[in-house]
Amino acid sequence: MGKIKTIEYFRVLPRWLFVKITDEHDNYGWGEATLEGHSQAVEGCLDAMIQRFVGYEADNIEYLWQTAHRHSFYRGGPVLMSALAGIDIALWDLLSRRLGLPLHVLLGGAVRNKIKVYSWIGGDRPRDVEAAAKERYAQGFRAIKMNATEDIDWLDSPKALETSVERCKIVKAVGLDVGLDFHGRLHKPMAKRLAKALEPHQPLFIEEPLLSEHYEGIKQLSQLTTIPIALGERLYSRWDVKRFLHDTSIDILQPDISHCGGISEIRRIASMAEAYDVALAPHCPLGPIALAACMQVAMCTPNFAIQEMGLTIHYNTEAGAYDIKNYIKDQSVWDVKEGYVEGLKGVGLGIEVDEEEVRKVARTANAWAPKGFVGPDGSIREW
């Protein structure tokens, strides 16, 4: 046992927010509180949590989690839950490091020895997908995800969807399974059209076919297609998730470990999903700490299906040289072979953070700004 001595956070390129917790005996752990486009808000929340939780017992992870959640009165949402996630992941890393064990051992032990993964191609406005798909195949991936469309009007021409189908066919011809991320860009008239057009080509899943707030539309869409429906990155707790499970409107749940309160909460969400025969495929186009935390959860979760991996995702390459192989000492942990990454075997999260690089980059890193689309008529469109 040891009391929390310090909680630090580090804004780093390309768009990540890392958290380090040290206890009074100099045991430490790393977490990730990344909330893309809203780092300053999460940092402000972390400032308040630092004042509150320094001096708490570092091993009492659930007590701290419940205190942060229930004694906040205004609870949940992306900012509070991302800040809490960074602290929660760091505390689990600290505890398992102190005990000299891989984190998944503390969560019940392994149910698999390697993790199925997929990566991204195509960018915000998907293009050049054949060359990118071949590159991913050569890297060892056997599944990818790409945006299904560019920006789409509320009611657009059916022609606007034709290239979506063609891109799906091209990538599948390379030998890859493909998940298509609607990204909440489409409204119901166009989402129904696109799902029907894609169905003969058997995508692995369609993601966020509508924004999560349209739960009644997602339920309707689920009754119109046989393509598995995935969503969850904009759901921040088990209470946000339960409506979709009760409606039986989704097949794959994609909570983001850095948005939904960390390891403690994603484990509860996974168990809820299992009871409804829903698979877990965590959202994670984020940094190496969040990815390692997802991998630890995947190792011990029976209904885990596949893990998103942000290797050279367009958000990273746009920022220059920084990717998930930065900020860690052993880059080989992310090697992909025949669609899988080997289970992480090291203590804690299973990675060693390069603290010198983190602190160096954090001195000058600017916050990543949210993106957006504007239609030809000047109207705001979903991104």
Residue 80 is encoded by which pair of tokens? 């509070």
Q: What are phi and psi of 299, to 5 degrees?
A: -60, -30
- Provide the phi-psi class of 304: left if phi over 0, else alpha when psi is between -120 and 50, else beta: beta
Three-state DSSP state, 11: strand
Question: Out of 104, 187, 259, 283, which one is annotated catalytic?
Answer: 283
Under 8 Å between Cβ of 6 and 54: yes
For the chain, give the number of residues.
Answer: 383
The DSSP code sequence of 150-217 is S---SS--GGGGHHHHHHHHHHHHHT-EEEEE-TT-S-HHHHHHHHHHHGGG--SEEE-SS-TT-HHH
Beta bridge partners of 350: none
35 closest CA partner among 380, 266, 368: 368
296 secondary structure, DSSP code: H
- Cα–Cα–Cα angle for 380, 34, 329, nearest 5°? 135
365 closest CA partner among 43, 59, 95: 43
Give the H or E element holding residue 316: helix 314-318
What sign does the dihedral 180-184-186-189 (CA atoms) show?
positive
What sign does the dihedral 102-343-334-230 (CA atoms) show?
negative
Question: Out of 104, 183, 187, 314, which one is annotated catalytic?
Answer: 183
- In this structure, the strands spanning 177-181 and 143-147 are parallel
Give the H or E element holding residue 258: none
Three-state DSSP state, 45: helix
- Catalytic residue flag (residue 201): no
- Catalytic residue flag (residue 259): no
Residue 170 is encoded by which pair of tokens? 């091209």
Which active-site residues does the annotation give? 183, 283
